[in-house]
Amino acid sequence: MKNTWPLWEVFIRSKNGLHHKHVGSLHAVDAEMAIENSRDVYTRRSEGISIWVVPSTEVHASNPNEKGSLFDPADDKIYRHPTFYNVPDEVENM
Amino acid sequence: MSREELEAEFQSKIDAEQRIEPQDWMPEAYRKTLIRQISQHAHSEIVGMLPEGNWITRAPNMRRKMALLAKVQDEAGHGLYLYSAAETLGMSREKMVEDLLSGKAKYSSIFNYPTLTWADMGAIGWLVDGAAIANQVPLCRASYGPYARAMVRVCKEESFHQRQGFDVICTLSKGTPEQKAMAQDALDRWWWPAIMMFGPNDDESPNSARSMKWKIKRFSNDQLRQEFIDMTVPQAELIGLTIPDPDLKWNEGKGQYDFGEINWDEFFNVIKGNGPCNKARLKARNDAHNNGAWVREAAVAYAEKRTNRKNTAKAS
């Protein structure tokens, strides 16, 4: 803590109605300072109306080596997509 | 998977224009190349604040002062985007700062030249930022995700910098004869260092081919340099300034400008640390770091106090 301030991941909502989106990271002593610094680093041109900061150590990620077993189950379920179904030509909008 | 298989998978991802993300497997040399390139780039942004910082207090009016200040603040921001991109590769911020301060790490040679007059603010924005943009736009498609994303932000802001500089040089060149002479003098001093920014000629640039294969680099040094020259010469003509290169001539057959021999001895000499301002730049960074130590300590002390206060409030 003395020498290296913790790393924070920064998420910004650009306007109401949109998700907060990850924009990058920065170092700060605490959450309050992380928000203030994020304002200066990531929103100098009105890019945001709301900021989330999360300690990087609190982000738990899926393991890229297990990408296969994790995501494969969705690959063979084409019936989950609307294009799987035939719609008679007479039906114009569906 | 064997090392060969991992490498083949890595390269096929890159060939298919997929991005590499921090958790993905990557060859050690790819990681090292990126750490070196991104941290050098970050250092360049940070040191790049110094030549312009020199003129903030002496800007000719309030509007230009505010614009210059905003530009220098952007450069600090660019440095931070890039440091955090380098950190995703497992390099610590502390180590990067340490390497810059000790002189071990390199940064763009251009910032080792002095800013002697206000016109230099124009020449830097127009030429140095112009060259930087030519270099950086292709980096928005670099194969490493966090680097590419940082570069998208940098490039968006960089075009304000170039226009701000061109506006300064344009205004001076339309001013009094003294002002025009000042603009010409700035162009005379910055032209050659600016075109050196693209790096050595292709046949002298041993790592280029590998970086191109990894899609960190998209165009060669000479390609980018030529593109920049072709774009900039007409701009100089438009504002009535003369590029200080007697060999500069439009080549009808090639559809591009021929230009004179670059003084590579000067380039390598400045890289080695013998440019006009290398020592001053490093001293300024070290002074800023040392003189700012109390601010960092105070921030930590204040955060601790705030946490303690919150805990006491919770307990009572």
Rounded CA-CA distance B210/B222 in Å is: 16
What is the chain B residue with the closest CA to A4? Answer: B94
pLDDT tier at A3, thresholds 50, 70, 90: low
For range B259-279, the mean pLDDT: 96
Residue A64 is predicted with a pLDDT of: 81
Is B300 in contact with A1 (Cβ distance < 8 A)?
yes
| A64 to chain B, closest Cα gap in Å | 6
Buried b (16+ CB within 10 A) or exposed e, A70-87: eeeeeeeeeeeeeeeeee
Considering CB atoms only, which of B21, B24, B84 is closest to A26?
B84
Looking at the DSSP bridge assignments, the partners of residue A13 are A20, A50
Helix (H, G, I), strand (E, B) or coil at B169: helix
Rg (CA), chain B: 22
Distance of CA B126 to the CA centre of its chain: 14
- Chain segment B65-79, per-residue pLDDT in tens: 999 999 999 999 999
For range B108-127, the mean pLDDT: 97
Which residues are CB-neighbours of B256 under 8 A, at least 6 positions away? B226, B229, B230, B250
Angle at alpha carbon of residue B154, lines to B285 and B276, rounded to 5°: 35
What percentage of residues in chain B have a pLDDT greater than 70?
100
Which residues are CB-neighbours of B37 under 8 A, at least 6 positions away? B211, B216
Give the lowest-confidence range in A57-71, B191-205, B241-255, B273-287: A57-71
Distance of CA B189 to the CA centre of its chain: 19
Which residues of B lie inside 8 Å of A (Cβ-Cβ)? Answer: 21, 23-25, 70, 73-74, 77, 80-81, 84-85, 87, 92-94, 149-150, 153, 157, 299-300, 302-303, 306-307
- Chain segment A11-50, per-residue pLDDT in tens: 999 999 999 999 999 999 999 999 999 999 999 999 999 9
pLDDT tier at B316, thresholds 50, 70, 90: confident
Which residues of A lie inside 8 Å of B (Cβ-Cβ)? Answer: 1-5, 7, 23-27, 29-30, 32-33, 40-41, 44-45, 61, 63-64
Residue A37 is predicted with a pLDDT of: 96
pLDDT at A1 over 50: no
For range B200-204, the mean pLDDT: 92
The ipTM (two decimal places) reads 0.89
Rounded CA-CA distance A11/A61 in Å is: 16
Is B23 in contact with A27 (Cβ distance < 8 A)?
no
Q: What's the pTM?
A: 0.93
pLDDT at B12 over 70: yes
Helix, strand, coil in percent for chain A, rounding step 5: 35, 20, 45
Looking at the DSSP bridge assignments, the partners of residue A55 are A8
**Spatial CA neighbour of B262 closest among B167, B197, B166:** B197
Phi, psi of B186 (to 5 degrees): -65, -45
| A17 to chain B, closest Cα gap in Å | 22
- Chain segment B33-63, per-residue pLDDT in tens: 999 999 999 999 999 999 999 999 999 999 9
- One DSSP character per residue, A41-58 reads HH-TTS--SEEEEEEGGG
pLDDT at B131 over 80: yes
Is A41 in contact with B149 (Cβ distance < 8 A)?
no
What are the CA-CA distances from residue B258 to residues B59, B134, B226, B261 (Å)?
36, 18, 9, 10
What is the chain B residue with the closest CA to A29? Answer: B300
pLDDT at A85 over 50: yes
Rounded CA-CA distance B26/A10 in Å is: 25
Residue B70 is predicted with a pLDDT of: 96
Is B25 in contact with A64 (Cβ distance < 8 A)?
yes
Buried b (16+ CB within 10 A) or exposed e, B153-171: bbbebbebbbebbbebbbb
Buried b (16+ CB within 10 A) or exposed e, A12-26: bbbeeeeeeeebbbb
pLDDT at A2 over 70: no
Residue B262 is predicted with a pLDDT of: 97
pLDDT tier at B101, thresholds 50, 70, 90: very high
User: To probe the interface with B, which of A2, A26, A47 has the most B CB atoms within 10 Å?
Assistant: A26
